[in-house]
Amino acid sequence: MKKVLSVLLTIALVLAASLAVADTSYTGTADSQIGGVNAVTCTVTLADDGSIVSVTVDACNDTPGICDSAVNTIPAQMVALNSINVDVVSGASMTSNAIIAAVTNALTEGGVDLTALSEKKEVVVEKAADEELTAEVVIIGAGGAGLAAAISAEQNGAKSVIVVEKMPKVGGNTILAGGALNAVDDRSETAIKQNDSVYWHYTQTIKGGDYQGDPELVMTLVSNAWDGVQWLKSMGMEFNEDAIFTVTGGLWERAHKPVMPCGTGFFDTYTRYIDAHSDVIKVMLNTKAEEITTDENGRVNGIVCTGETGNTVTISATNGVVVATGGFSKNVAMRQTYDTIWGTLDETVKSTNHEGATGDGVKMMQKLGADFIQMGNIQLLPLGDPVTGSLSGNIEHNVETRVFINKEGNRFCDEGGRRDDMTNALFAQTDNTMFIVMDSDTYPTGDELNNFGETANQLVEAGRAYKADTLEELAEQIGVPADALVAAIAEYNRYCEGGDKSGEKDEFGRSLFATPIDNGPFYAAARVPTVHHTMGGVRIDSSCRVYNENGEIIPGLYAAGEVTGGIHGANRLGGNALTDTVVFGRIAGQSAVNGK
């Protein structure tokens, strides 16, 4: 018996000791402005002394590719600092906040005292040694145009390419886009069926930009668009082959829709290619270009950057430098300075853009005496999220299947028209607010994805969209007069079905229709004006070479993407921006290799 008691006591002591030092895990959820209700689930494990052992993101409904940097960074910061009071990741702030909230909820619900774990701690980073690097082609910016240029440079013979990106992830504005890419294959049955052609794409682009676009650049854009799609497919990018559609402000049914949501398909494709050619292409994140350098003859020969730890990184370019830094929609001071269209673009007008769209490339090239054109041409969309200004949460799939309704329950513009016309019309409405209204034709179950990887049911659950069996019930939910909404939809349906026998046209001039809005349940989502694209920028030729203020080419300097001007004119067609990044990114990479 004594031996038995001794053994039992020993076991008890071992168990007590193990329990005393056992780690304890807590799991919690949080809403996200992107993924909706309970979009993020996290598990945090604490040691017996209360310190953080690990943090894992068990589930995240936010858009893949966009949220990845936050998912990878925030948990690691919490463990390293032993604090849940950590900084959000630039470019992924909404996901960052959701992760922090989920961890906080987990600990709070577990009864943990958060006092010590909520202390703000300084991140101490040891400054690395300064670096001097050399590459044939150096690219500033790892968005759509920048990575297209990098791959093109490698494919055209470059043996060394370095891409620098100030943000902690690749993607730029492209990864936040709806993914629509305009391109016309003149020989296809689709183009013939839709009465489309490369020349019609050219005509609409020129006219849609009030004839301010450079004809040579516009023709370069539209005539190389289809080859750009084929190029993407050759690297494994997948498109919904049967989903040619009209994107908002696109004016025609020629937008190609990638299988992956937003712009993630582009970067899934680009990064796979770059990873497979890492012996040639090097991407340096958290590396901010500060200056473009020139030799004694005025030829661009490299850049100077601030590295991740504050060290100086000097990169020499033997062939050329490509600037692909995007626009300046997130720089309130710059857009206020240059705006010639809207009157005020202060901080009350939010933007669809990522945090890095602050005009860095413009500033660097200005110091070189580069020529800038049409800087006042700033595009707004009527499709911003009322809270964030982002395009996420937009329930529409295409132009043909929805209408815009104001707070009085009435339509107020041609929903298939130009983006500037629609936005101006929205500014004239009560609270600058409208509701997109549509039926279930494109959401038969509510679980179908919109263009941003979100389902209608998720958006409804998150309170970002509304769903009702009847228009009267929908009107009550969104706070508009039911009789006005019912009458507006009935009138729209009449035109949608061909109007009356006299050939009467839609009162707002709309010509793009599909089926009537008569198949419940019905959906609605609120939208406001938002700054979307800066169409002015540095002046380039069709080889992406940059001009100076005297009309001369700056040798060794190239530019592509939203940092350039002269392509889209006063108003960019929806779906042309991603085409721009692919077409001119490829050209810039090839030109930089040649060094011409």
pLDDT one-digit tens code per residue, 516-557: 999 999 999 999 999 999 999 999 999 999 999 999 999 999
Q: 586 lies in which domain range? A: 154-377+535-594
pLDDT score, position 19: 41
Which of 8 and 78 is assigned the larger pLDDT? 78
pLDDT score, position 501: 45
Together in a domain, 201 and 327: yes
Asked if the model's pLDDT at residue 93 lies above 50, the reply is yes
pLDDT one-digit tens code per residue, 20-77: 446 999 999 998 876 667 889 999 999 999 999 999 999 988 776 678 889 989 999 9
As a whole number, the mean pLDDT across the chain is 91
Assess contact for 140 and 315: CB atoms under 8 A. Answer: no
Which of 461 and 217 is assigned the larger pLDDT? 217
Question: What's the N-to-C CA distance of the chain in angstroms?
Answer: 94
Together in a domain, 349 and 217: yes
Tell me if 482 is assigned to some domain: yes
Together in a domain, 455 and 365: no
Asked if the model's pLDDT at residue 476 lies above 90, the reply is yes
Assess contact for 324 and 161: CB atoms under 8 A. Answer: no
**What mean pLDDT do residues 381-392 have?**
92
pLDDT one-digit tens code per residue, 246-279: 999 999 999 999 999 889 999 999 999 999 999 9
pLDDT score, position 4: 42
pLDDT score, position 503: 62
Does the bond joining 521 to the residue before it have cis omega, within 30 degrees of 0? yes
Together in a domain, 109 and 192: no
Tell me if 427 is assigned to some domain: yes
Going by C-alpha positions, the residue among 326, 395, 384 that lies closest to residue 351 is: 384
Beta bridge partners of 293: 302
Going by C-alpha positions, the residue among 402, 438, 393, 440 that lies closest to residue 422 is: 402
pLDDT score, position 344: 87
Round to whole Å and give the CA distance between 284 and 307: 9
| Residues 6 or more apart in contact with residue 137 via CB below 8 angstroms | 149, 150, 153, 158, 160, 161, 162, 317, 319, 320, 321, 322, 589, 592, 593
Asked if the model's pLDDT at residue 442 lies above 90, the reply is no
DSSP 176: G
Backbone angles phi, psi at 549, to 5 degrees: -70, -15
CATH number of the domain within which 96 lies = 3.90.1010.20
Helix (H, G, I), strand (E, B), or coil: what is residue 136? Answer: strand
DSSP 127: P
| Residues 6 or more apart in contact with residue 111 via CB below 8 angstroms | none
Which strand ranges, in their side-by-side order, compose the sheet holding 537-539? 372-373, 537-539, 564-565
Assess contact for 456 and 467: CB atoms under 8 A. Answer: yes
Beta bridge partners of 41: 29, 59
Together in a domain, 32 and 90: yes
In a 10 Å sphere around its CB, with 0-12 CB exposed, 13-18 middle and 19+ buried, how is residue 36 labelled? buried
pLDDT score, position 1: 37
DSSP 82: T
Asked if the model's pLDDT at residue 198 lies above 50, the reply is yes
Which of 131 and 12 is assigned the larger pLDDT? 131
Round to whole Å and give the CA distance between 152 and 173: 20
DSSP letter string, 342-388: SS---TTS-BSS-TT-S-HHHHHHHTTTB-EE-TT-EEEEEEE-TTT
Together in a domain, 361 and 400: no
Helices H / strands E in the chain, number of each? 16, 21
For the chain, percent of residues with pLDDT exceeding 70: 94
Assess contact for 240 and 565: CB atoms under 8 A. Answer: no
pLDDT score, position 195: 86
Tell me if 326 is assigned to some domain: yes
**Are β-strands 52-60 and 181-182 bridged in parallel, bridged antiparallel, or unpaired?**
unpaired
Q: Which of 513, 530, 547 is the last residue of a domain?
A: 530
**What mean pLDDT do residues 145-173 have?**
97
Tell me if 308 is assigned to some domain: yes
Q: Which of 96, 118, 140 is the last residue of a domain?
A: 118
Using alpha carbons only, give the angle 14, 19, 20 rounded to the nearest 5 degrees. Answer: 100
Tell me if 445 is assigned to some domain: yes
Going by C-alpha positions, the residue among 469, 475, 505 that lies closest to residue 489 is: 475
Count CA within 13 A, CB hemisphere, residue 396. 26
- H helix or E strand, kind and range, residue 59: strand 52-60
Place of tokens 């007590």: 16
Helix (H, G, I), strand (E, B), or coil: what is residue 100? Answer: helix
Together in a domain, 363 and 406: no
Round to whole Å and give the CA distance between 25 and 502: 72
Together in a domain, 370 and 391: no
pLDDT score, position 22: 66
Residue 8's CB: how many other CB atoms inside 10 A? Answer: 10
| Residues 6 or more apart in contact with residue 253 via CB below 8 angstroms | 194, 196, 244, 245, 246, 512
Split into its structural domains, the chain has a count of 3
- The full 3-state SS of 291-333, as one line of letters, equals EEEECCCCCEEEEEEECCCCCEEEEEEEEEEEECCCCCCCCHH
Together in a domain, 279 and 315: yes
Count CA within 13 A, CB hemisphere, residue 561. 33
Going by C-alpha positions, the residue among 282, 271, 239, 237 that lies closest to residue 257 is: 239
Q: How confident is the model at residue 11 (pLDDT cuts 50, 70, 90)?
A: very low
> With b meaning 16 or more CB within 10 Å and e meaning fewer, what string describes 122-132?
eeeeeeeeeee
Assess contact for 232 and 582: CB atoms under 8 A. Answer: yes
Asked if the model's pLDDT at residue 490 lies above 50, the reply is yes
pLDDT score, position 341: 92
User: To the nearest 10°, the Cα dihedral for 351, 352, 355, 359?
Assistant: -70
CATH number of the domain within which 444 lies = 3.90.700.10
Place of tokens 């228009």: 471
Round to whole Å and give the CA distance between 236 and 257: 14
Tell me if 6 is assigned to some domain: no
pLDDT score, position 189: 77
Residues assigned a catalytic role: 419
CATH number of the domain within which 585 lies = 3.50.50.60
pLDDT score, position 241: 80
Round to whole Å and give the CA distance between 150 and 165: 13
**What mean pLDDT do residues 336-359 have?**
94
Tell me if 195 is assigned to some domain: yes
Q: How confident is the model at residue 504 (pLDDT cuts 50, 70, 90)?
A: confident
pLDDT score, position 14: 38
pLDDT score, position 371: 98
Round to whole Å and give the CA distance between 140 and 324: 6
Can you state the angle between helices 576-594 and 225-234, rounded to 10 degrees?
Answer: 80
Together in a domain, 205 and 345: yes
Q: Which of 530, 553, 574 is the last residue of a domain?
A: 530
Together in a domain, 491 and 560: no
Residue 472's CB: how many other CB atoms inside 10 A? Answer: 13
Going by C-alpha positions, the residue among 171, 323, 332, 180 that lies closest to residue 250 is: 180
Together in a domain, 340 and 426: no
Tell me if 28 is assigned to some domain: yes
Largest CA distance in the chain: 107
